[in-house]
Amino acid sequence: MKTTEKVSVLRDPLEGLLTYELRKTSAAVMGAIAFELESLDLRWSDASLMMVIGANPGCTQSDISRALRIQPTNVVPLINKLTRAGLLERVAGEGRAVSLFLTKSGAALLKQVKSAIARQEARLSRNLSQAQKAQVTDVLHLLCKNACCD
Amino acid sequence: MKTTEKVSVLRDPLEGLLTYELRKTSAAVMGAIAFELESLDLRWSDASLMMVIGANPGCTQSDISRALRIQPTNVVPLINKLTRAGLLERVAGEGRAVSLFLTKSGAALLKQVKSAIARQEARLSRNLSQAQKAQVTDVLHLLCKNACCD
DNA sequence: TATTGTTATACTCTATAACTATA
DNA sequence: TATAGTTATAGAGTATAACAATA
């Protein structure tokens, strides 16, 4: 015996670590929203950009950069993609600033984005107790703060 | 008046969304562990690999791939890096399989990795109530499951 | 000078296709 | 054939440096 005693199921020494569980859950959740947005030909970065501009018509790339904590340099290709797709309009503002607005078709697509996000959120929290639902974002905010930023 | 009425602080329409908060918190937490591991010249992917091999001496790359949910193809460069650094030993096993072990210096470094992780975990949960501490991983597991995988 | 926007670049993580070697 | 490992490659996300344009 014991000729083929393979490990195959490993002991997972990372199980239960906040760092690990957060990363794993975040990865799963991002995979799920990616699937949800696939039919709209949008990635999460696109969708979150549209959400922010939809809620703040006329905001600038700097505004977005600060709000979503992405480097200004990384906002550029996202804006370009959405502009080329006819979803975004760039209007000259003060100084070098450019004010961003959703086009008509951008606004229409945003509605679908909101539906996709609503579906995702409903699915995520479908079997959470009221207490859990109420506390989960509080805990996440605490953890975020403890991780030193925000 | 109203000449320079800039937006500057945006309304954040993503605030409170589980998808968004999870991603943001995960990013912050990964940044914090990256900082913690920086002095050891390891990234989280290296550290988690060492943790798994330390807890499962003789495991294979396929085992690791399944445990950490990384593509087998992406395990290769990680293993190579740690092997080149003298932290890992590869011993021929059955068939094509290769059994992985930490070297002496690998085991020594793993101790420091564990300390770094322990510091991180303590900092993350320092101001969580007992109830929160007890429930947070449960909620994360639920969310992970609801996201459809795991 | 400080702010805004941009280009180029590079590194990490992740994913797929195609291949070799072994049972 | 199924499993283990590998190579090459490509796409996203994120980071810095250097620069141009405007107040």
Q: Given pLDDT bands bounded at 50, 70 and 90, which one contains residue A68?
A: very high
Task: Give the pLDDT of residue B8.
Answer: 64
Distance between the alpha carbon (CA) of A92 and the C1' atom of D10, Å: 36
Task: Give tens-digit pLDDT for A73-102.
Answer: 999 999 999 999 999 999 998 888 999 999
- Nearest CB among B7, B48, B143 relative to A14 is that of B48
Among A77, A75, A137, A7, smallest CA distance to B140 is for: A137
- Closest CA-bearing residue to C1' of C3: A96
Distant-in-sequence contacts of B38-41, Cβ < 8 A, 24+ apart? B40/B109, B40/B112, B40/B113, B40/B116
φ, ψ for residue B60, nearest 5 deg: -105, 175
Res. A7: pLDDT tops 80:
no
| pLDDT band, very low/low/confident/very high, at B95 (cuts 50, 70, 90) | confident
**Calpha distance A103→A34 (Å, rounded):** 23
Q: What is the pLDDT of residue B143?
A: 97
Residue-averaged pLDDT of chain B = 92
Is strand D less than 7 A from the beta carbon of B98?
Answer: yes
pLDDT in tens, B29-59: 999 999 999 999 999 999 999 999 999 999 9
For A110, half-sphere exposure in the C-beta direction (CA atoms, 13 angstrom radius) is 21
Q: Which nucleotide is nearest, taking the CA of residue A79 and each C1'?
A: C5
Q: Which nucleotides of D are covered by protein (CB under 7 A)?
A: 3-9, 12-18, 20-23
Nucleotide nearest A60, CA–C1', reads C4
Q: State residue A149's pLDDT score.
A: 57
Instruction: Taking residues B104-122, report their average pLDDT.
Output: 98
pTM of the predicted model, to two decimals? 0.92
**Count of other CB atoms within 10 angstroms of residue B53:** 27
User: Are the beta carbons of B43 and B37 closer than 8 angstroms?
Assistant: yes
What is residue B5's predicted lDDT score, i.e. its pLDDT?
42
Cα–Cα distance measured from residue A25 to residue B30, given in angstroms and rounded to the nearest whole number: 13
Give the integer Cα–Cα distance in Å for A99 and B6: 10
Residue of A nearest to B12 (CA): A52
Q: CB count, 10 Å around CB of B128?
A: 18
What is the identity of the amino acid at B23?
R
Spatial contact of B133 and A130, defined as CB atoms under 8 Å apart: no
Query: Distance (Å, rounded) from C-alpha A115 to C-alpha A37?
Result: 10
Q: How many CB pairs under 8 A join A and B?
A: 207
On strand C, nucleotides with any atom < 7 Å from a protein CB are 3-9, 12-18, 20-23
Q: Percent of chain B, pLDDT > 70?
A: 93
